[in-house]
């Protein structure tokens, strides 16, 4: 590090502070149900009876209200607005944007149309500013974690600001998966080595870049899911693509003597993801209604 500093000792840092007013009244906290994977907000309720625990857990959620409360599906009064990092290149940018918007399919089942909106981050804006939630592109030279995190009102669980961070190096790890599906050069003669296009029985248009973008799209949906309040799910993928909130390995099928990668990664949020959004965001869902959602799936 010293070699890149002006005098070998000192460096400059920019610190950004954001001060937020308390949210307006009207948000209805939703007690956590351990059967549904929402990220908890813990607080201590000192008014609780002495025979009960003072620990209380609320589900972390955004505030969504219907413009038309009587409509089965309505536009929200204020959508969840995310901004896309201006430094993200295409075609990665398009894949990330489209996959993040998969969550609107789940919000529609909770009664909201266009609940989740993506815009381009204004020039000069930063995700350190709590006015801008969104998807940030992190350039890495080696392996690192992508994450989705948020800041919430601890009194109610209302999410106020969130950022999904996606690392650029993930493309290279997916590229290695592709390369590992092809035989090493010395393992067979040139005549025996298959053409890459022959590896793909289900979708002959799928190539290395398509596989990279499929995995990046799934990653976008996964990290954005965290910023909507959702935890990991380690079991739902035992039934097809049950949840993008799992850590998913590529689904590589062998058809005849060919690899089929046409369904390598999910192309939408799963049935469990839709259940979570229904449970967390259906307006005015009382305890009995939410319990029925969990029981009936």
pLDDT in single tens digits along all 297 residues of the chain: 556 677 777 778 888 888 888 899 999 999 999 899 999 999 888 999 999 999 989 999 999 999 999 999 999 999 999 999 999 999 999 999 999 999 999 999 999 999 999 999 999 999 999 999 999 999 887 777 889 999 999 889 999 999 999 988 888 888 777 777 665 555 454 455 455 545 554 555 567 888 889 999 999 999 999 999 999 998 888 888 999 999 988 888 877 767 778 888 999 999 999 999 999 999 999 999 999 999 887
Specify the residue for token string 């003669």.
Answer: 189
Beta-bridge mates of residue 293: none
Tokens of 211: 């596989």
Q: What is the CA radius of gyration of the chain?
A: 22
| Spatial CA neighbour of 23 closest among 79, 65, 55, 63 | 63
What pTM did the predictor assign?
0.87
Contact 38, 280 (CB under 8 A): yes
Q: Give the β-pairing of 55-59 and 40-44.
A: antiparallel
Q: Give the β-pairing of 80-84 and 134-138.
A: parallel
- Sign for the CA dihedral angle at 202, 203, 208, 210 comes to negative
Tokens of 280: 């967390």
Which residues, other chains included, contact 192 with Cβ-Cβ below 8 Å and sequence gap of 6+?
none
Distance CA 110, CA 179 (A): 41
């Amino acid at each position: 590090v010293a070699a890149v500093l002006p005098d070998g000792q000192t460096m400059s840092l920019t610190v950004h502070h954001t001060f937020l007013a308390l949210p307006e009244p009207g948000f209805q906290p939703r007690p956590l149900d351990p059967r549904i994977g929402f990220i908890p907000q813990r607080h201590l309720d000192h008014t609780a009876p002495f025979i009960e625990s003072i620990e209380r857990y609320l589900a972390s959620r955004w505030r969504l209200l219907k413009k038309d409360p009587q409509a089965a599906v309505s536009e929200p009064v204020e959508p969840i607005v995310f901004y896309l990092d201006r430094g993200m290149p295409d075609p990665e940018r398009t894949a990330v944007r489209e996959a993040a918007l998969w969550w609107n399919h789940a919000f529609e089942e909770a009664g909201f149309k266009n609940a989740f909106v993506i815009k381009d981050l204004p020039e000069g804006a930063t995700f350190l500013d709590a006015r801008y939630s969104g998807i940030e592109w992190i350039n890495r030279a080696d392996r690192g974690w992508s994450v989705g995190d948020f800041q919430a009102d601890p009194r109610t669980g209302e999410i106020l600001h969130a950022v999904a961070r996606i690392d650029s190096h993930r493309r290279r790890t997916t590229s290695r998966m592709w390369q590992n599906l092809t035989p090493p050069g010395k393992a067979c003669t040139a005549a025996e080595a298959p053409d890459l296009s022959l590896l793909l029985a289900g979708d002959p248009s799928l190539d290395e870049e398509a596989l990279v973008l499929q995995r990046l799209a799934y990653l976008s949906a996964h990290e954005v899911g965290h910023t909507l309040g959702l935890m990991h799910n380690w079991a739902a993928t035992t039934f097809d693509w049950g949840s993008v909130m799992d850590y998913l390995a590529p689904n590589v099928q062998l058809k005849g003597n060919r690899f089929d990668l046409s369904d390598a990664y999910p192309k939408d949020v799963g049935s469990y993801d839709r259940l979570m959004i229904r449970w967390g965001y259906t307006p005015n869902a009382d305890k009995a209604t939410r319990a029925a959602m969990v029981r009936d799936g």
